[in-house]
Amino acid sequence: MFESNRDYPPPVDGAGCGNEPSSSPVTTWIADLSSGRALQEIAADTDAGLINRLRVLEELKAAAAAAQVRVAAAFDASVRAKDARSGIPEEHQGRGVAAQIALARRESPARGGRILGFSKALAHEMPCTLRALSEGRLNEWRATLLVRETACLSVSDRRLVDREVAGDVAGLEGLGDGRLIGRIRKLTYRIDQEALVRRAAKAQADRYVSCRPAPDTMTYLTGLLPVAQGVAVFAALSREADSLRARGDERGRGQIMADTLVERITGLTQADRVPMEVQLVMTDRTLLAGAEDPAYLQGYGVVPAMWARDAVRKAGHKERTERTGRRGAPSAPDLWLRRLYTAPTSGELIGMDSKARFVPEALSRFISTRDETCRTPWCNAPIRHRDHIRPHHLGGRTSSDNLQGLCEACNHAKEAAGWRAEGIDNPDRHTVAITTPTGHTYQSTAPPLPGT
Ligand SMILES: [Zn+2]
């Protein structure tokens, strides 16, 4: 199906934009998968032929996933061995491995950690699952389920489940996600009753609250809670809604529950007077001239121009405008809007500078606004640190050019041996080059601002 004796057209894109020369047989072959010739072949194929292609490609994806597992595990082992030889204590060996895997796979560092855990589990503890993946009988997601569902078992019990489930070639055929999980759990509970208890304890430790954008300038506030607490919160909100409606409140149940949630957590009674500082970045033409350039609301993302104008109007006189380095008024328990000017040509935020190592509040806010989220490529985690790209003790300035917003994990990863960061001259947008211990370089460019 994918003969190798073809005349390959030269790759159209990809040349010169990566770290690796794109001339290996594999990259040429990958380019061929979507070459003009391949597209013609697809168009000319029979329906049965198209279905065959789908299956082959599906198995290829699984086989590629298995190969990535082996490569990631080998990289981890190699880095650890090197660390051990240079006398690094065992608990610090392998630092930065997950971050490098993430960059190579174009994933967030958090995801890189999960990929590394998955790879090591398969490579060292679940040989049958890895084999089924490399033969295309399991896809990557189902292999992930096998790893996840056996994470609380001892290595020998895990191998047992691996053999029973993934070693049974005929049994895997036609097994969907739900039945696969069911089969693993049945075995798990039979082998190790205690696993159930450990799973529950681990699940409780993973409780969290998150906030992510929903359509139409709404947001999902999600809490993953132990079942009793979650049910108690929901019941309290329901009771309040029922009691208010019985007293003539005309809002819907859902509306009252949502308003009550906000009131009880923020301590304020009006849903539109939330005690937080809202940072809204917009162009002057959006605010004053009714232009339609979207604005950026920190912690949420892009918002329509009309919504931004409306928010400013509601905030009324409490709006503060900020230019280079001037400090705003102290916070008040109300909706504050801070407007940061963007330079008229490039849209770059007007820079700031400070002599101290310590990053002043206004500059720190400026970095958060410019970078939006952690600057590591594909990370997107909230900014927790304003990091000196060139360290202060090496003469790095405390200026907007030499600072970048990083999350906790990425700030930590950057400190590991062999990592380097340097500012790159880019008149349009702030750019940093990150070099990893293997010598691979990745560029991080600040996101475009409103009006660009
Ligand atoms: Zn990060």
Structure tokens at 259: 């308003």
Distance from the alpha carbon of residue 438 to the mean position of ligand 1, in angstroms: 19
Q: Which residues of 110-139 are buried (b: 16+ CB within 10 A; e: fewer)?
A: bbbbbbbebbbbbbebbebbbbbbbebbbb
pLDDT classification of 102: cutoffs 50, 70, 90: very high
Could you tell me which residue, 251 or 26, shows the higher pLDDT? 251
Q: Are residues 199 and 51 in the same domain?
A: yes
Distance from the alpha carbon of residue 410 to the mean position of ligand 1, in angstroms: 4
Structure tokens at 245: 């409606």
Residue in 48, 49, 25, 23 with CA at minimum distance from that of residue 38: 49
Write phi, then psi, for 45 (nearest 5 degrees).
-75, 160
Q: Is 108 exposed, middle or buried (0-12, 13-18, 19+ CB in 10 A)?
A: buried
Distance from the alpha carbon of residue 123 to the mean position of ligand 1, in angstroms: 27
Work out how many domains the chain is built from and give that number: 4
Distance from the alpha carbon of residue 259 to the mean position of ligand 1, in angstroms: 33
Answer yes or no: are the C-beta atoms of 310 and 297 closer than 8 Å: no
Distance from the alpha carbon of residue 369 to the mean position of ligand 1, in angstroms: 16
Q: Are residues 173 and 61 in the same domain?
A: yes
3 lies in some domain: no
Distance from the alpha carbon of residue 415 to the mean position of ligand 1, in angstroms: 13
Question: Looking at residue 146, what is its pLDDT?
Answer: 96
Please spell the DSSP secondary structure of 323-361, one letter per residue.
Answer: -TT---PPP-SS-EEEEE-B-TTT-PBPP-EESSSS--H
Q: Which residues of 169-190 are buried (b: 16+ CB within 10 A; e: fewer)?
A: eeebeebeeeebbebbbebbee
Domain that holds residue 358: 353-445
Please give the average per-residue pLDDT across 271-280, as a whole number.
55
Distance from the alpha carbon of residue 432 to the mean position of ligand 1, in angstroms: 14
241 lies in some domain: yes
291 lies in some domain: yes
What does DSSP say about strands 441-445 and 208-214: parallel, antiparallel, or unpaired?
unpaired
* Domain final residue, candidates 296, 316, 340: 340
Question: Looking at residue 333, what is its pLDDT?
Answer: 29
Distance from the alpha carbon of residue 132 to the mean position of ligand 1, in angstroms: 34
Distance from the alpha carbon of residue 376 to the mean position of ligand 1, in angstroms: 5
Answer yes or no: are the C-beta atoms of 370 and 432 closer than 8 Å: no
Tens of pLDDT, residues 408-449: 889 888 888 889 999 998 888 899 999 999 999 999 999 876
The rounded mean pLDDT for the chain is 82
Q: Are residues 240 and 128 in the same domain?
A: no
Measured CA to CA, the distance from residue 404 to residue 354 in angstroms comes to: 14
Please report which helix (H) or strand (E) contains residue 277, including its range: strand 277-281
Q: Percentage of residues in the chain with pLDDT exceeding 70? A: 80
Q: Are residues 328 and 373 in the same domain?
A: no
Distance from the alpha carbon of residue 210 to the mean position of ligand 1, in angstroms: 16
Give the lowest-confidence range in 76-80, 149-153, 187-191, 446-450.
446-450
Answer yes or no: are the C-beta atoms of 300 and 274 closer than 8 Å: no
15 lies in some domain: no
Q: Are residues 181 and 214 in the same domain?
A: no
Q: Are residues 303 and 251 in the same domain?
A: no
Amino acid at 234: F
Question: Looking at residue 86, what is its pLDDT?
Answer: 92
pLDDT classification of 279: cutoffs 50, 70, 90: low
Q: Are residues 186 and 119 in the same domain?
A: yes
Distance from the alpha carbon of residue 109 to the mean position of ligand 1, in angstroms: 6
Distance from the alpha carbon of residue 301 to the mean position of ligand 1, in angstroms: 17
pLDDT classification of 122: cutoffs 50, 70, 90: very high
* Domain final residue, candidates 340, 371, 388: 340
Question: Looking at residue 59, what is its pLDDT?
Answer: 95
Distance from the alpha carbon of residue 207 to the mean position of ligand 1, in angstroms: 21
Write phi, then psi, for 7 (nearest 5 degrees).
-85, 110
Residue in 367, 219, 370 with CA at minimum distance from that of residue 300: 219
Distance from the alpha carbon of residue 452 to the mean position of ligand 1, in angstroms: 25
